[in-house]
Amino acid sequence: LEVVSTGWVSIALTFRGNLPGSDIIVGWVGEDGVATLVDAHGDSEGKMIKDKVQDYQLIVGYQYQDSTVLRFKRKLNTCDGDDLVITNDTFRLRWFYSSKDPRNEMDLPYLTSERQGQRAIHLYETSKFKQRQPKALKWTVASNSVVLPRKHTLYWCTMIKLPEMPEKHHMIGYRPVLTPGSEKYVHHMMIYECHDEDDSASKFHRHVNSGYECNTPNMPKDFRNCRGIIAAWGLGGEPFFLPEEAGYPVGEEHGGATYYMLEVHYDNPGLHGNIVDSSGLEVFLTPNLRKYDSGLLTVGHDVSSFQLIPPGEEAFTTVGHCPEVCTQTLPQEGINIFAGLPHTHNLGRAMRLRHLRNDQEQPVPFQDRFYDPNYQTMRRFELNLKPRDHLMTECTYNSSELDTYTRGGFSSRNEMCMMFLHYYPATRLAHCASRLTLKHVLLALGVSVWPITPSTRHLGLRVREPWQYQNLTFTDYLRVNGGKSRAANIRLQEASLHHSHMAECFDYGERRVYADGLEFSTPRIHNPLYDNVGGCFDESQGTFAYDPRLNQPLHANAHKPMVTILSFSVASVFLLYILF
């Protein structure tokens, strides 16, 4: 921890930014050159109180010029009720510092900082993926001077051609390249493979470097053959690099594609004008091939306007499935997932990926119970997915401040529930998702609708019952009804969790569809894993003692031991610079 100050410095680990219950470290270097580090916590008023047990160990502390440097460590799980367990969740780290040292440890509750700040951070990450191949080639995939209109949401699609290459190359990483001044407008960016059924490239070539508003009548129909994501970046995301054994193959003849489509989601709630953007992704390529070709699999809830989140709910969960009817297409040895990008819009507060095999739940590969929709970046975890396995993507939303339904959709005012999973070896399966059937949505709401016929199709979906809402469109019904029925909200939650879904599964370019609206029953899990963690094994007694004060989020990779040492230092896991 390095701070441009010669007084005390403190960092507080929190889940939502609240100091009460936080895990605090306070340190300083005295005039005699002796460094002091105190393990503390926030009391009910947020004041710093020294822990009875000091679990943070000072490695080195010193001052040079006008800076203070402290290096320290602790276990991920200290089994101390005053400490937080370090998990794969999103932490909100708060920092404070002063130009003066405290007189002694008794001053801690009364310290007043001169400067402070905070940021979201993922503490439980391995560093082995951080290396970048030194001689990687750089290919910039970007929009071409898009003029943002005065509208809340814009999806812009640009056709890109892969540069000519004499031999096979692997994509080994990518990073965002944001136009200065556009950072607050770019919500997410995706790169899709483009394939034609007759393998004719001419239909794509004439659109190279051309851009259109996505999914509108003005977008050429050729763009609709761009399905299957190979790179994904979300708001607040950081550069991403694949592990040393894997690389995505570019080029149609090598198992990838020659033509790609960049999709950029712009979010402009202020309806600002005169914004010109050329943001995109810088892709790193190498001719030094990795052991495995990699791919990317999209899982979760299909984007659908019938995904409903009722208002006034602090925790409403939507579930999307990747069922066995789709995973049965995987190779016998399965695929190895090594990273994933969780994605919701503004209401998202928690995400979890569950793994079932023969209806038996496996260790939870990933969850973030304090997910921050403004900090979406690739997360590291490991999962071997075999044929006929089943994945469940769970997204929990907080709609407590809303007074009407939120629907699934592309706008940031709508919601999504998806994960983008990098894996190897590559297969053709690109998309494996589901959506709750319309009949179960209607049953939960207590609504029936008129049949849609060729002569009434232009009127849309219209309500038949209840009689007082008769002939309203379904959209108008949701607006007028406003989620006033608590019983209907409970039924909708029950339907989302347990009732049948419709599967949507296809390969890159959607050249082969494995399931198109196929209805299936959601699995009946025989051994569900519950979020109960925090107990510690007492070696002297040979017993497992559970302390309710330690009821922290379930560890993301449950099969890994929680004995790793967490270290904050200049040369280790985390480095924080605080400048005047």
Q: How many CB atoms lie within 10 A of CB 174?
A: 27
In a structure prediction context, what are the per-residue pLDDT tens digits for the chain, which is 580 residues long?
A: 888 888 889 999 998 888 999 999 999 898 888 999 999 999 888 888 899 999 999 999 998 888 899 999 999 898 988 999 988 899 999 999 988 888 888 888 788 888 899 998 888 765 445 555 457 899 999 998 999 999 999 999 999 999 998 899 999 999 999 999 999 999 999 999 998 876 556 788 889 988 999 988 888 888 988 988 999 999 888 899 999 999 999 998 898 899 999 999 999 989 998 899 999 999 999 999 999 999 999 999 999 999 999 999 999 999 999 999 999 999 999 999 999 999 999 999 999 999 999 989 999 999 999 999 989 989 999 999 999 999 999 999 999 999 899 999 988 899 999 999 999 999 989 999 999 999 999 999 999 999 888 888 888 889 999 999 999 999 999 988 877 788 999 999 999 999 999 999 988 876 778 888 889 998 888 777 765 445 565 555 444 444 433 333 333 443 343 333 344 432 233 344 333 3
Q: Which amino acid is at 206?
A: R
Q: What is the DSSP string of 96-108?
A: EE-SS--SSGGGG
Task: Specify the fold of 2-124+566-578.
Answer: Immunoglobulin-like (2.60.40)
| 97 is a catalytic site residue | no
pTM: 0.86
User: E strands along 398-493, which residues?
Assistant: 406-407, 417-424, 429-436, 448-449, 463-465
For 84, which DSSP code?
-
Among 107, 116, 121, residue whose Cα is nearest residue 47: 107
CA distance 176 to 223: 23
User: Which DSSP string corresponds to 186-221?
Assistant: EEEEEEEEE--TT---HHHHTTBT-EEETTSTTS-G
The residues with which 578 forms a beta bridge, in sequence order, are: 3
Q: 552 is written with which tokens?
A: 């922290």
Of residues 343, 422, 431, 499, which has the active-site annotation?
343
- What whole-number distance in Å separates Cα of residue 4 and Cα of residue 25? 17
What pLDDT shows up at residue 547?
41
| Tokens (6 digits) for 425 | 């070896």
Give CATH 2.60.120.310 domain extents, the chain: 129-293
Token code pair at residue 416: 């999504």
Rounded Cα gap, residues 249 and 255, in angstroms:
6
Cα 415 from Cα 413, distance rounded (Å): 7
Which CATH architecture describes the domain 129-293? Sandwich (2.60)
Q: Which two tokens stand for residue 277?
A: 């953007």
pLDDT of residue 536: 64
Closest CA to 295 of 344, 340, 233: 340
**Angle, nearest 10°, between helix axes 438-445 and 486-498?**
150
Considering all CA atoms of the chain, what is the largest pairwise distance in Å, rounded to the nearest integer? Answer: 88
- Which one from 124, 155, 260, 397 is the annotated catalytic residue? 155
pLDDT confidence of residue 548:
39
Residue type, 357: R
58: CB partners within 8 A, 6+ apart: 27, 35, 36, 37, 70, 71, 72
End-to-end CA distance of the chain: 15
Give the length of the chain.
Answer: 580
Rounded to 5°, angle at Cα 20 from 110 and 126? 110
Looking at residue 3, its pLDDT comes to 87
The vertex-359 CA angle with 356 and 360, nearest 5°, equals 65
Close Cβ partners of 360 (under 8 Å, ≥ 6 residues apart) = 525, 526, 527
Q: What's residue 198's pLDDT?
A: 66
Q: Where in the chain is the domain with CATH 2.60.40.1210?
A: 2-124+566-578
Q: Is 155 a catalytic residue?
A: yes
pLDDT at position 298: 95
Task: Give me the residues paired with residue 161 across strands.
Answer: 259
Reference 263, options 374, 188, 161, 183; nearest CA is 188
